[in-house]
Structure 1
Amino acid sequence: MGDDDDFEYIYRFVTRDPWNPNDRAANKDLLDHGTLSVAKFESDGTMRWIPLIAGEGPLSAEAGFKSQADVVLATRAAADLVGATPMDGPEGFIAHLGTGKLYVAMTENEDRLPKVEGGDEKEMVNIANPRSPNPHGHLLELAAPGGPEKPDYAADSFKWDVFILCGDPAKPEDQAMFHPATTSAGWFTDPDNLAVDPAGRLWVTTDGPPPEGITDSVYVMDTEGPGRALPKLFYIAPVGSEACSPTFTPDGSSVFLSIQHPGELRMADNEDATSMEDAGTDWPDFKPGMPARPSLVVLSRVNNDVVGS
């Protein structure tokens, strides 16, 4: 789970009881019992899950954690106390069942500071959030022990690496890190929602505000092989909107996308629209008097070919 704000954290909840696909009643209280943990990234390429349990370590009654309810209600404070790694707006989080790896999107953090002596440790760059500021965001790749055959997502530690540093590869100041063959239409900023399609490719939707002249869009790329981290532009969202939550048919021939808040921005200056009249679009109806409306769209390939290929 990602807490999508500057300097917040990545969490995990492991249930006490296993999910039973044959007993719905047994699954109804799975979230009532288990262990909430927060991520700490180390410079040796490991990421540790630190349990957030009232009464253990610094989460004492004197610190305000008299019960587990206090941990749930003040989770950010608990994560601060155990020394978790503050992140750059973590949001999208997806497991790649073909490789056993996890991908996490850091949307952005323009308030990240360089590392300086005597500075606020939480706000300075760290190994997993290496840029200051970070207006473009990045993607992390986490590898659970057990490999693709039997990944152990409940393990105490994972391996981790930076998968992509977003930004314009043509601008050295962006410090972008994509596949060398990434085109001028393929790079992106502000990664948000993630998905893995039936073919095993990673899909990324963005949530700006993006650089001038670029709108929020949907990208697709391989995570392994020669096309690893080589994004390709798939879909451009309507003006002022973001495309969210890609979901696929089992054969991969169609993708469903949620289109949020179309027309939110004005065309003239890319600022927030204040009325229907100055909204950037009246999508999807394009009729006088009809406002722009959030919608669910489905995109399919002709002859049922695989989308994004």
Structure 2
Amino acid sequence: MAKDFSTMDDCNPSHNQSIHDLSNPLRRTILRGGLATTISSLLAPLGAVSLSGCSTTPTGIGPMLGFKSVTMNDLDTVTVPDGYRVQVLYRWGDAVGIAGNMPAYKSDASNTATEQEAQAGMHHDGIHYFPLDGSQRGLLVMNHEYTDDGLLHVGGMRDWSAEKVAKAQAAMGVSVIEIVNRGNSWEVVRPSRFARRVTATTPMLITGPARGHARLRTRDDASGAVVLGTVNNCAHGFTPWGTYLTCEENFNGYFNGPDKPDADQARWGLKKGGAGYRWHEFDERFDVARHPNEYNRFGWVVEIDPMDPTSTPVKRTALGRAAHEGAHVTQTRDGRVVVYMGEDSRFEYIYKFVSRDAVRPGGAKANADLLDHGTLYVARFNAGGRGEWIELTQGKNGLTAERGFASQGDVVISTRQASDLVGATKMDRPEWIASDAKTGWVYCTLTNNATRGKPGFPGVDAANPRVENTMGNIIRWKEDGDFAATTFAWNHFVMAGNPVLDRADAKGNVKGDQLGSPDGLWVDGRGVLWIETDISTSTLGKGDYAATPNNGMYAADTTTGEIRRFLVGPRGCELTGVIMTPDMKSLFVNIQHPGEPASERSNPDEVMKVSTWPDKARPRSATIVITRADGGVIGA
């Protein structure tokens, strides 16, 4: 039987958590005051320690993976192991909980843009739990990545209008909700003083080396310091001082490109019509021909203070501009933060940022500029299992004015081009990154890259060894010493794929349950690696994926390499965010785009032929919470 950790929050119930409390729920809370930086810096590179007599190493849990694998299926529901319960907590269209503004969801999609601003956005993605009262009450902060306009609007994209653009912009961004455990179930607190939506029109500040840069100035913002909104928010991160990082991924698809893109626009794949969202027809700032600098103001990591709904989000340009999948934060021995970031595009890169300064006591306000100063690096994975971090600083490694980098602002705005120039390793779509503070290993999912090695595309290399990599893999590295090191050792934790296939691009070496296209990633307090898959809905159940009709979530014992299937999602969905409460008894998971095999612009009736999850009606992305019937630790 698992040990009961429910009393551990009583050790320091009012204390601010360090990064290790947040990323490893079994580490103890520490003071907001002067000892915070010292203690958290000691925790970073070490295993379990004890503070104030509170053990940080769980005992009596037993084997890492204490559940029976779920059988793969094509059911339109969420399947979990015997003895576990699933509750749908927060669906697209549910009220966030803003006092005096809690519109009900309308199943015919007739909610207005104004109502959508106070409701859950579409396509839940990265997620984090910020405790208010340990494991019984807290804030869930989550991303809403993009919109399915066929589902979002009455009539889909027919009769396109300014109102539909406004509603689409309101349906992405970030939700902050307050939740409470009532004993047998969780519920959203409504109203809540913390409730908030951040959308594609929320005012935001621009800080760091690109602030005020000529390429960020627009007709409506001559200062280059204020921008409206955040878009395509994929994965996330969180800081030692209690803030949330949301990451702008494929933002370029919302912009209508010029007839003939210049070299920079071509590097970002800007094209006429964008990805078909048509925002530019009623919001001209998304028309690059009319406002050529607006798209430079997206592709950043955005910091949000969930504890202060009046605070202004901040785009942190020192972390570089990319199709950011996420921003995983850890700490060095001397208390500085390290932010690992993947860029989910074919042949793009893995980055890390090391702050100049150590975390200061005093929470978010005391660390308001910490992510504005530091060093940005990009990874090169060499043969023989060794690698290095190449510094992306103006004047170094060929990043000179003669080559188009006259300032650090130029470097961070054109991070992709800087990485090209210094010879970084082009990866197979690096997505989520997670680290294990006990072992020092940092993991990154490489989802797939079917064009690797094809004519006209880069060939294989040591880190990306598969031609036409359709299955993906998980790479990992361990820094040489501290997380701020500039060299590391690396290997492949697992090559995903079907063990019965003989082709090198598809045969996996999974010890346990088959998986493909790994995406979401998180290491829990015991050191279990949770893996979520994002197999394209156009290939699920077909060809190499014939044995995989639905996406799922898996748990990996990193000491033995064993992988077990913990969850199978409904039809057409992707498994995205994952996080637990500190006592590890409630697991939050996001179910994204159920029913996606139908076109995003299609009639809802076509989508509903694939999925009607979770309400036997128009499908809705949602956050679920999983608990054990016996109240025990998840997965143990």
TM, length-normalised to structure 1: 0.87
**1:293 matched to which residue of 2?**
620
The answer as to 2:453 corresponding to 1:113 is yes
Q: Are the aligned partners of 1:263 and 1:273 in contact in 2 as well (CA < 8 Å)? A: no
Question: CA shift at 1:241, angstroms?
Answer: 1.3
Residue 550 of structure 2 is aligned with which of 215, 218, 227? 215
Q: What's the secondary structure of 1:62's corresponding residue?
A: helix
Question: CA shift at 1:26, angstroms?
Answer: 2.6
How many pairs are equivalent?
284
- Following TM superposition, where does structure 1 have runs of at least 4 consecutive aligned residues deviating by more than 3 angstroms? 21-24
Q: Write out per-residue CA displacement over residues 152-208 of structure 1, whole angstroms, 9 at most, x where no aligned residue.
A: 1111111100110111011121231222xx2xxx11011111001122100000111
CA distance in 2, matches of 1:81, 1:123: 15
Q: Write out per-residue CA displacement over residues 251-292 of structure 1, whole angstroms, 9 at most, x where no aligned residue.
A: 2222101111112124xxxx76722112111211114xxx21
Q: What's the secondary structure of 2:626's corresponding residue?
A: strand
The answer as to 2:603 corresponding to 1:275 is yes
**1:156 matched to which residue of 2?**
486
Q: Are the aligned partners of 1:198 and 1:248 in contact in 2 as well (CA < 8 Å)? A: no
Residue 246 of structure 1 is aligned with which of 578, 582, 592? 578
Equivalences for residues 77-92 of structure 1 within 5 A: 77-92=417-432
Equivalences for residues 163-174 of structure 1 within 5 A: 163-173=493-503, 174=506
AA partner of residue 131 (structure 1): R
When structure 1 is superposed on structure 2, of 245-254 and 88-97 the one drifting more is 245-254
Residue 261 of structure 1 is aligned with which of 589, 593, 616? 593
Q: Are the aligned partners of 2:391 and 2:397 in contact in 1 as well (CA < 8 Å)? A: no
AA partner of residue 419 (structure 2): A
Q: Write out per-residue CA displacement over residues 25-44 of structure 1, whole angstroms, 9 at most, x where no aligned residue.
A: 23111111111100001112
CA distance in 2, matches of 1:276, 1:308: 36
CA distance in 1, matches of 2:480, 2:589: 32
Question: CA shift at 1:144, angstroms?
Answer: 2.0
CA distance in 1, matches of 2:397, 2:444: 27
Q: What's the secondary structure of 2:433's corresponding residue?
A: strand
Q: Write out per-residue CA displacement over residues 29-88 of structure 1, whole angstroms, 9 at most, x where no aligned residue.
A: 111111110000111211100000112122111111111111111111100110100000
CA distance in 2, matches of 1:281, 1:44: 46
The CA RMSD over aligned residues, in Å, is 1.7
**1:135 matched to which residue of 2?**
470
Equivalences for residues 22-37 of structure 1 within 5 A: 22-37=362-377
Q: What's the secondary structure of 1:71's corresponding residue?
A: helix
AA partner of residue 368 (structure 2): K
**1:231 matched to which residue of 2?**
563
* Unmatched runs of 5 consecutive residues or more in structure 1: 147-151
CA distance in 2, matches of 1:263, 1:87: 29
Residue 20 of structure 1 is aligned with which of 360, 367, 381? 360
Q: Are the aligned partners of 1:222 and 1:229 in contact in 2 as well (CA < 8 Å)? A: yes
Answer 1 or 2: which has greater helix percent.
2
Q: Write out per-residue CA displacement over residues 88-131 of structure 1, whole angstroms, 9 at most, x where no aligned residue.
A: 000010011121110000010000007xxxx86x7110000000
Q: Are the aligned partners of 2:452 and 2:466 in contact in 1 as well (CA < 8 Å)? A: yes
When structure 1 is superposed on structure 2, of 205-214 and 247-256 the one drifting more is 205-214
State the identity as a percent: 39
Q: What's the secondary structure of 2:396's corresponding residue?
A: coil
TM, length-normalised to structure 2: 0.43
Equivalences for residues 39-50 of structure 1 within 5 A: 39-50=379-390
Q: Which has the higher contact order (CA 8 A, sep 6+)?
A: 2
